[in-house]
């Protein structure tokens, strides 16, 4: 028997406020298209069953569009004759008994099995038992529900949460529960986990499939997609759904860099072919604040026009933030000359008037120093 294991679709997730030509959030639309591409890949592989290990939706009360996208995906799988097993995760499960699960809308669909009621449920598909423990209201409930499991011969366990061995990777999301490592029993043929967005093997038979999409730059280095599991041979292989499209560049040390050098560094990492339809973050450290402000900010803003999202994160040098460099008032005209030179290098002063501006400004600075000494000023 072969199954495809996926999780954490987060339909309805939106971020970064970048809109497409129709006024729709681009990231949200990417999440929908990624889910539909995942359905394409599943139908192409035609497994004996599909397991979704939780967080189908990003919100417990999803809007119409994520509900529609999910329904259309289910219908395609059912029409292809592929049984579906789903559990609710911490994002799409109500946090109290008086709320209604969005999965109630999909109950009764042939060959679609959904565990959503905070308790253990078992679904039989061919000769395999899928033991499902969805999101529970209290962390201790998982052990209680686990004790209800009775092995049948071929058994797959499906859960949603962060296992103890990965607790340093906690995502700090609402309702995040820790799963005791004692639940990862070796006598299951396979353990399908959801919640952690990176593909990861946590024991001999337990895997996180990861998410199809990137949801923040902390995931930029993660492997994304689904897992194809061969229960007969015990093999697990990754299925890539979309090419890598999030790039978080390693920090560039800008110690001692002038504005033109910082700008050149940014431009080197921002070629249109490298950022087109991607999410890109450029990280700068030890940046001179004055030098950075001297760069043409409008030009920087235009750099990311072809990207889904483009961010320059500049960490300014601690020394500059803590200490103001002392300036000799008698040398203000020299300071002004250096300031204007940085503006010229950033193409903020036309060459044709540079000399005139410099000359006038230096004279004003000299008069200011003299006036300070006389406690008066004449800038006429």
The CATH number that applies at residue 142 is: 3.60.21.10
pTM of the model: 0.81
* Together in a domain, 164 and 252: no
Task: Tell me, yes or no, whether 38 and 102 share the same domain.
Answer: yes
Phi, then psi, of 188 in degrees rounded to 5:
-85, 145
Rounded Cα–Cα distance for residues 213 and 30 (Å): 8
The H or E element spanning position 318 is: helix 318-322
What is the per-residue pLDDT for 376?
Answer: 40
One domain for residues 166 and 74: yes
DSSP label at 326?
Answer: P
- 26 in Cβ contact with 20 (< 8 Å): yes
Q: What are phi and psi of 36, to 5 degrees?
A: -70, -35
Residue 291: give the domain boundaries: 245-324
332 and 258 together in one domain: no
State which of 309, 324, 339 marks the end of a domain: 324
**Phi and psi at residue 143, in whole multiples of 5°?**
-65, -40
Looking at 239, 269, 298, the residue that finishes a domain is 239
Alpha helices in 122-201 (DSSP H): 141-146
Least confident range of 131-140, 317-326, 361-370 = 317-326
Instruction: Return the structure tokens found at 261.
Output: 């050098």
Residue 274's H or E segment, with its range, is: helix 272-275
Looking at beta carbons, which pairs linking 269-276 to residues 24 or more positions away fall under 8 Å?
270/303, 270/304, 270/310, 272/306, 274/247, 275/247, 275/303, 275/304, 275/306, 275/307, 275/310, 276/306, 276/307
Provide, rounded to the nearest whole percent, the portion of the chain with pLDDT above 70. 85
Helix (H) or strand (E) holding 282: strand 279-287
* Nearest CA among 118, 189, 183, 113 for reference residue 152: 189
- What local confidence, expressed as pLDDT, does residue 325 receive? 40
Number of separate domains in the chain: 3
Identify whether residues 96 and 218 lie together within a single domain: yes
- Whether 250 and 168 share a structural domain: no
**Domain final residue pick, 183, 211, 239:** 239
Q: What is the pLDDT of residue 322?
A: 38
Q: Partners of 235 in the beta sheet?
A: 230
Judged by phi (left if over 0) then psi (alpha if -120 to 50, else beta), residue 375 lies in left
Regarding whether 95 and 16 lie in a shared domain, the answer is: yes
For the segment 275-282, the average pLDDT, to the nearest whole number, is 93
Is residue 169 classed exposed, middle or buried when 0-12, 13-18 and 19+ CB atoms within 10 A define those classes?
middle
Side-chain half-sphere CA neighbours of 2 within 13 A: 11
User: In the predicted model, what is the mean pLDDT of the chain?
Assistant: 88
Which 3 state secondary structure label does DSSP give 263?
helix
Q: Give the separation between CA 244 and CA 223, rounded to whole angstroms.
A: 9
Nearest to 266 by CA among 311, 223, 206, 235: 311
Q: Helix, strand, or coil here: 337?
A: helix
Distance from C-alpha of 117 to C-alpha of 101, rounded to nearest angstrom? 8
> Residues 19-42: pLDDT tens digits?
888 999 999 999 999 999 999 999
- The Cα–Cα gap between 184 and 190 comes to 10
Of 184-188, 255-259, 363-367, the poorest mean pLDDT is in 363-367
Q: Judge if 21 and 137 occupy the same domain.
A: yes
b (16+ CB within 10 A) / e for 58-90: bebebeeebbebbeebbeebeeeebbbbbbbbb
254 and 355 fall within a common domain: no
Both 196 and 286 in one domain: the answer is: no
Residues 63 and 134 in one domain: yes
Same domain? 264 vs 197:
no
Summarize pLDDT for 37-75 with one digit per residue, the tens.
999 999 999 999 999 999 999 999 999 999 999 999 999
pLDDT digits (tens, 9 = 90+) for 74-100: 999 999 999 999 999 999 999 888 889
Look at residue 191 and tell me whether its pLDDT is greater than 50.
Answer: yes
Q: Which long-range contacts (CB under 8 A, 24 or more apart) does 62-67 make?
A: 62/11, 62/12, 62/92, 62/102, 63/12, 65/12, 65/32, 66/11, 66/12, 66/32, 67/102, 67/105
What is the sign, positive or negative, of the torsion defined by CA atoms of 248, 250, 255, 257? negative
Assign 220 to helix, strand or coil. Answer: coil
CA 283 to chain centre: 16
What value does the mean pLDDT take over residues 180-185? 93
Residue with tokens 């400004």: 361
The string of pLDDT tens digits covering residues 321-353 is 433 344 445 556 656 666 666 566 555 666 667
């Amino acid at each position: 028997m072969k199954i495809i294991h996926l999780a954490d679709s987060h339909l309805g997730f939106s971020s970064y406020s970048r809109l497409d030509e129709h006024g729709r959030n681009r990231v949200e639309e990417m999440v929908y298209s990624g889910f539909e591409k995942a359905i394409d890949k599943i139908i192409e592989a035609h497994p004996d069953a599909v397991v979704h290990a939780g967080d189908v939706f990003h919100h417990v009360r999803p809007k119409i569009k994520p509900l529609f996208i999910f329904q259309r995906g289910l219908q395609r799988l059912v029409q292809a004759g592929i049984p579906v097993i789903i559990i609710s995760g911490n994002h799409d499960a109500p946090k109290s008994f008086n709320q209604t699960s969005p999965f109630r809308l999909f109950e009764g669909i042939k060959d679609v099995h959904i565990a959503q009621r905070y308790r253990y449920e078992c679904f039989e598909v061919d000769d395999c038992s899928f033991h499902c423990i969805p999101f529970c209201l209290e962390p201790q409930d998982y052990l209680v529900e686990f004790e209800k499991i009775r092995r049948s011969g071929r058994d797959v366990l499906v859960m949603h949460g962060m296992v103890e061995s990965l607790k340093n990777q906690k995502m700090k999301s609402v309702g995040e529960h820790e799963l005791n490592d004692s639940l990862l029993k070796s006598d299951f043929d396979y353990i399908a986990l959801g919640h952690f967005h990176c593909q990861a093997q946590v024991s001999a038979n337990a895997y996180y499939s990861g998410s199809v999409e990137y949801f923040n730059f902390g995931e930029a280095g993660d492997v994304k997609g689904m897992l194809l599991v061969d229960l007969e041979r015990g093999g697990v292989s990754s299925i890539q759904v979309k090419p890598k499209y999030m790039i978080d560049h390693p920090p560039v040390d800008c110690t001692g860099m002038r504005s033109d050098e910082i700008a050149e560094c940014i431009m080197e990492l921002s070629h249109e072919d490298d950022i087109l339809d991607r999410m890109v973050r450029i990280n700068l450290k030890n940046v001179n604040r004055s030098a950075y402000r001297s760069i043409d900010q409008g030009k920087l803003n235009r750099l990311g026009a072809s990207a889904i999202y483009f961010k320059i994160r500049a960490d300014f040098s601690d020394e500059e933030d803590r200490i103001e460099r002392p300036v000799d008032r008698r040398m203000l005209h020299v300071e002004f000359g250096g300031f204007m030179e940085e503006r010229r290098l950033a193409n903020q002063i036309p060459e044709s008037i540079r000399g005139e501006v410099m000359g006038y400004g230096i004279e004003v600075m000299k008069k200011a120093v003299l006036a300070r000494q006389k406690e008066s000023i004449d800038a006429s």
